[in-house]
Chain A
């Protein structure tokens, strides 16, 4: 582990805010922050830095951290904001704790559904030089990736359907009333009807702290950061091989090297993957070293990644169950932290010692991150 100080997650709040209009976005963020602090058992006065993840185009606010700064306790505190990915907020918060210059960090991200059209907001992220006139939103990019994968791997559509069914089954346990419903109609070929979910509003908060702080407060339920990796694909889809995920491979290598993971299947107990589509989940299996593509059909078929299997993936139900677009990455981290801390509730897995969160975002998962959390301090090796 390269870090000067090893950070641990001591509090999480995942808030599906479905009952919209009685609370403004700012108030939803306030509620989630308070819940995260309560889960950590500390007060805002214990927080000496904040990182938020938020996206202007989804929020309909320029520099949208401004509106949230008060709600997350930012007044008179050291607060930074990243709009590239909610998982990036976690990474930056962890780096600040790891520097030894902060005892605690609060990390908050959110994703509202106040835009008239989320695909239209996403389309603004295409460059105006070559791609803006194309109908390119995130769903289209995901479909383009699925098409490449279907071409590369025979019979993949059935395997994808099984992955989808697994996540929806997991989701029914995690959320008796799943926040996100399957999107109706044919989405984008080859993504069939019901293979993606409707975006909903959501907010997520995590609290990070140093070992000293954790010991001083006698906090016992801690998910220690054992390894972090993050990387990005190039900008233009045409410059990428959409059938592979080199950035996720790079991110996994970083995280595994830090954590001392050489055999992820054996050393990990739970995994959360950003399953914007089941194809994205399958591609992540390969890049994370969980299952090569020639084994996808067999391992998915024998239930390796189900609740009952050897390495459960997406016990939370994943994005297929709860899809607050921008903060799905940070939710993966919070879900693993909760599993490691024994705070996952109805979908808590037994004897979780180490878990892996994969976060992907952007067009066909341009941004990738892999974060290993564990019950014990230090690396595994």
Chain B
């Protein structure tokens, strides 16, 4: 795999490294901390991890998805002090659920452009304070045609499950298997929100939310923060720092209109994750990965509902569409298996929306660093992360290498 990126424009640029990571222990509520307090918590952890001073930070990328989720408009303005950005370069990213990985990407471009040597990206969410996230998330649909329908992200992705069932034979039991696997993984991760191990029977005993999804097929509403420090290869070398490297990254999006992802020969089918696949292809190309199934050792794939992990595995190129069902049943994607997916427990067990995509990147970084603790994938050197945003519309992907 590549050691130095060669760009589309033929310019050889130095690598961008990850040198610090901070994340909260995610929970349902954090009444002890205000919103900026939560951001600060993660920032302090990341700064200590990187062993840097705030004076070293040249720019900050703020990670926050819909403002309404924290109930503060442009809440990044309130977070300026929490991230130490006074009189510094500062901007915010919002690509919905993909925001966290998009923010890491934006921080990456700050360094890759040559503009900055060291960049902090950080954010937090208090989804538990917004009353009902689905009320907010209904407002992501356009007021012209689709918002009048009772759409929410749960209902939207239940409709994806129905199509995946239709094309590939997915069953409710297959969905439950993802929950069982990820809850077990989360039980090993002290930062995960839902850490109780469950069985397939437990999933079936939980109530239907939106057929075929049951309560235990769904992610929680989590509170907590995330932060990462990125730096140029030159800075890392000069300071003799320990780092892992972002060797591939991309974003890709598909149509906003759910109804355009079905019908006659859609470019992107709502069963699948077309643009996630396209995004991975671009990131792999940049990283020089030609056979992800054998070259990737660990994956953190954004999947807030059990069914969506299947099309994410397909899109990552680990197998042909639909084959993920049988491979997961064989245990290939669990800790100790051939290619562990979501060893942290993933989005299904922890979803503080503003930073969920960042935590995917952070967890992969910890894995290839060999610092993941009880949920470490042995010998992982190359990992991938993804984030999905909008109505399953924006997809960010990254390749991280030791």
Cβ-defined contact, A125 with B72, below 8 A = yes
Chain B residues in 8 Å Cβ range of A75: 253-255, 267
What 5 A-B pairs have minimum CB-CB distances, sorted nearest first? A100-B11, A124-B73, A98-B113, A125-B73, A100-B7
Q: In the complex the two chains form, what is the Cα distance from A56 to B267 in whole Å?
A: 28
Cβ-defined contact, A98 with B87, below 8 A = no
How extensive is the interface on chain A, given as a class?
A: 35 or more
- Selecting from B75-83, B158-166, B174-182, B330-338, the interface stretch reads B75-83
- Selecting from A59-67, A143-151, A297-305, A334-342, the interface stretch reads A59-67
**B106: Cβ under 8 A from any A Cβ:** yes
The secondary-structure label for the interface of chain B is loop
- Selecting from B24-32, B133-141, B355-363, the interface stretch reads B133-141
Chain B residues in 8 Å Cβ range of A210: 9
Interface residues of A in 319-369 (CB under 8 A from B): 362-363, 366-367
Cβ-defined contact, A231 with B90, below 8 A = yes
Cβ-defined contact, B81 with A234, below 8 A = yes
* Further contacts, 6 of them, CB under 8 A, given A80-B102, A80-B105: A56-B68, A63-B94, A75-B253, A85-B91, A88-B91, A235-B78
CB distance from A93 to the nearest CB of B (A): 9
Chain B residues in 8 Å Cβ range of A167: none
**B143: Cβ under 8 A from any A Cβ:** yes
Cβ-defined contact, B11 with A5, below 8 A = yes
**Given A2-B115, A74-B253, does the pair A99, B109 have CB atoms closer than 8 Å?**
yes
**A247: Cβ under 8 A from any B Cβ:** yes
Cβ-defined contact, A92 with B91, below 8 A = yes
**A269: Cβ under 8 A from any B Cβ:** no
Chain A residues in 8 Å Cβ range of B13: 4, 99-101
Q: Which of A3, A56, A228, A363 has the most CB of B within 10 A?
A: A56
**A83: Cβ under 8 A from any B Cβ:** yes
CB distance from B188 to the nearest CB of A (A): 33
**A95: Cβ under 8 A from any B Cβ:** yes
Q: List 7 A-B contacts (CB under 8 A).
A: A61-B142, A62-B68, A65-B95, A100-B8, A103-B8, A125-B77, A231-B90
CB distance from B398 to the nearest CB of A (A): 13
**B71: Cβ under 8 A from any A Cβ:** yes
Interface residues of B in 91-125 (CB under 8 A from A): 91-96, 102, 105-106, 109-110, 112-115
**B294: Cβ under 8 A from any A Cβ:** no
Cβ-defined contact, B114 with A81, below 8 A = no
Chain A residues in 8 Å Cβ range of B254: 75-76
**Given A26-B142, A124-B73, does the pair A92, B109 have CB atoms closer than 8 Å?**
yes
Chain B residues in 8 Å Cβ range of A88: 91-92
Cβ-defined contact, B9 with A76, below 8 A = no
Q: Which of A82, A98, A125, A129 has the most CB of B within 10 A?
A: A82
Residues of A bordering B, CB below 8 Å: 2-5, 24, 26, 48, 55-57, 60-63, 65-67, 69-70, 74-85, 88, 91-92, 94-96, 98-103, 121-129, 210, 212-213, 228-235, 239, 246-247, 250, 254, 362-363, 366-367
Q: In the complex the two chains form, what is the Cα distance from A250 to B278 in whole Å?
A: 40
**B89: Cβ under 8 A from any A Cβ:** yes
**Given A4-B114, A99-B109, does the pair A80, B252 have CB atoms closer than 8 Å?**
no
Q: In the complex the two chains form, what is the Cα distance from A67 to B73 in whole Å?
A: 19
Q: Mark B214-254, 1 if CB is under 8 A from A, else 0.
A: 00000000000000000000000000000000000011111
**Given A63-B140, A78-B251, does the pair A362, B114 have CB atoms closer than 8 Å?**
no
- Selecting from B59-67, B197-205, B299-307, the interface stretch reads B59-67
Q: In the complex the two chains form, what is the Cα distance from A188 to B144 in whole Å?
A: 36
Cβ-defined contact, B77 with A79, below 8 A = no
- Selecting from B312-320, B369-377, B389-397, the interface stretch reads B389-397
Chain A residues in 8 Å Cβ range of B36: 235
Q: In the complex the two chains form, what is the Cα distance from A322 to B335 in whole Å?
A: 58
Chain A residues in 8 Å Cβ range of B113: 2-4, 94-96, 98-99
CB distance from A280 to the nearest CB of B (A): 17
Chain B residues in 8 Å Cβ range of A2: 113-115
Question: In the complex, which of the residues B62, B65, B74, B286 contacts A362, with contact meaning CB atoms closer than 8 Å?
Answer: B74
CB distance from B261 to the nearest CB of A (A): 11
Cβ-defined contact, B278 with A76, below 8 A = yes
**B85: Cβ under 8 A from any A Cβ:** yes
**Given A78-B250, A362-B74, A362-B77, does the pair A99, B112 have CB atoms closer than 8 Å?**
yes
Cβ-defined contact, B85 with A232, below 8 A = yes
**B34: Cβ under 8 A from any A Cβ:** yes
Chain B residues in 8 Å Cβ range of A362: 74, 77
Question: In the complex, which of the residues B114, B143, B251, B279 contacts A61, with contact meaning CB atoms closer than 8 Å?
Answer: B143
